[in-house]
Structure 1
Amino acid sequence: MATNKTLSASEIDDLPYRPCVGIMLLNEHDKVFVAQRIDNPGDAWQMPQGGIDQGEEPIEAALRELEEETGTANAELLAETPDWHTYDLPRELVPKIWKGRYRGQKQKWFVFRFKGQDSEINIDTEIPEFSEWRWADMSTLPDLIVPFKHELYTRLVKEFSYLIK
């Protein structure tokens, strides 16, 4: 599908969701790792996430994405969502992202406790996705993300707030 093709609402609705994982990385002070995407400069911050490769289990994808996007795998698994969460891209972005093959993403989310020092985090990875990073309060996550992921981040905060001491 061409990236400049206009898709009708029904064509978009018929597209599948891209299988993906998301990672909420908590530090020792219960702050969450968030970063600004290189390809979307502005005031939007997100948690690490990425696609699941063919034949890969979600937890394997989460560990791979954690290391690819933060430069570290020094973390302990705390929790995962029992269900998959979905979000839809804004309709005008569908033809431009993932070559127009997906309407959005279905994500399995994992929470890890970071066991290292901030100096271990390196977003200048082989294929960098982020320009900056910081630690944020979990309650602020929905206000930091792009608007079309606001509802997803609200659900994640509600689902994982029990992990905050």
Structure 2
Amino acid sequence: MKEYRQNVAAIILNKENKIWLGKRADGMNWGFPQGGIEAGENPESAIIRELSEEIGTKNFEIIGQYPGTLKYDFPKDMKFPTWTYAGQEQHYFLVRLDEQAKIDLESHPEEIEFSRYQFLSLTEILKIDFGFKNEVYHQALAYFSNIIEKN
């Protein structure tokens, strides 16, 4: 049986309901912030920690959570030095940045996840090919679309 890394991911909205998308610092594709759930954490505390680490802010509100989890498999040629999971099982959150939130991609310089970011509309995001994460991204976006599309 395949083993999946327990993980959280966030779709981040600004006040105009545009979606945050970051260019990964490791050269991979654009994507949403995500990260592993550490021992003793629940998914909500993990997403708060991950967003603090990856985008440098805790100034946001959780406005939705996907019911259950979404899974994706890593490509066969993708290897990790410290673990051998088949993929990730993710708890998706929809969050809205507070107006005073400041994005700081270098807030944790020991592990910079994103080199830059932009805010895009749902229509623009749905035109992007996210590779092996495409299906999961589209499922999460479809679930939250009624909230994202409200203005």
Task: State how many pairs are aligned.
Answer: 147
- Cα offset for 1:153? 1.0
Sequence identity percentage: 35
- Distance of 2:27 and 2:61 partners within structure 1: 29
**What is the one-letter code of the residue matched to 1:140?**
E
* TM-score using structure 2 length: 0.90
Q: Cα gap change, 1:99/1:161 in structure 2, threshold over 3 Å: closer, same or farther?
A: same
Alignment correspondent of 1:67: 52
- Matched with 1:103 is 86
Q: Equivalent residue for 1:162?
A: 146
Q: Following TM superposition, by how much is the alpha carbon of 1:145 offset from its aligned partner in structure 2, in angstroms?
A: 5.1
Alpha-carbon spacing, 1:89–1:68, altered in 2? closer, same or farther (3 Å): same
Name the structure 1 match of 2:122: 138
Alignment partner of 1:48 is 2:33: yes
| Partner Cα distance (1:20, 1:143) in 2 | 25
Closer/same/farther in 2, CA of residues 98 and 25 from structure 1, 3 Å limit: farther
Question: What residue is the counterpart of 2:104 in the other structure?
Answer: 122
Structure whose CA Rg is larger: 1
In structure 1, how many angstroms separate the alpha carbons of the residues matched to 2:81 and 2:137? Answer: 22
- Separation (CA, whole Å) in 1 of partners of 2:128 and 2:34: 15
- Whether the aligned pair in 1 keeps the contact of 2:15 and 2:99 (CA below 8 Å) is no
- Aligned mates of 1:111, 1:30 — CA distance in 2: 11
Q: Secondary structure at the match of 1:99?
A: coil
Letter paired with 1:134: Q
Tell me if the contact between 1:34 and 1:46 (Cα under 8 Å) persists in the aligned partners: yes
Q: Is the 8 A contact 1:141 1:154 kept in 2?
A: no
Residue 5 of structure 2: which of 15, 18, 42 is its match?
Answer: 18
Q: Secondary structure at the match of 1:112?
A: strand
2:4 maps to amino acid:
Y
1:91 Cα deviation from its structure 2 partner: 1.1
C-alpha displacement of 1:124? 1.1
Say whether the 8 Å CA contact 1:45–1:145 is kept in structure 2. no
Whole-angstrom distance in 1 between the partners of 2:2 and 2:58:
33
Structure 1 or 2: larger helix share? 1
Q: Secondary structure at the match of 1:30?
A: coil
Letter in 2 for 1:130: F
CA distance in 1, matches of 2:100, 2:67: 30
Checking the alignment, whether the CA contact within 8 Å between 1:142 and 1:151 is kept in structure 2 is no
Query: Which residues of structure 1 form unaligned runs of 5+?
Result: 1-13
| Alignment-derived partner of residue 132 in structure 2 | 148
**2-structure distance, mates of 1:29, 1:112:** 13
Quote the offset at 1:17 in angstroms.
Answer: 0.4
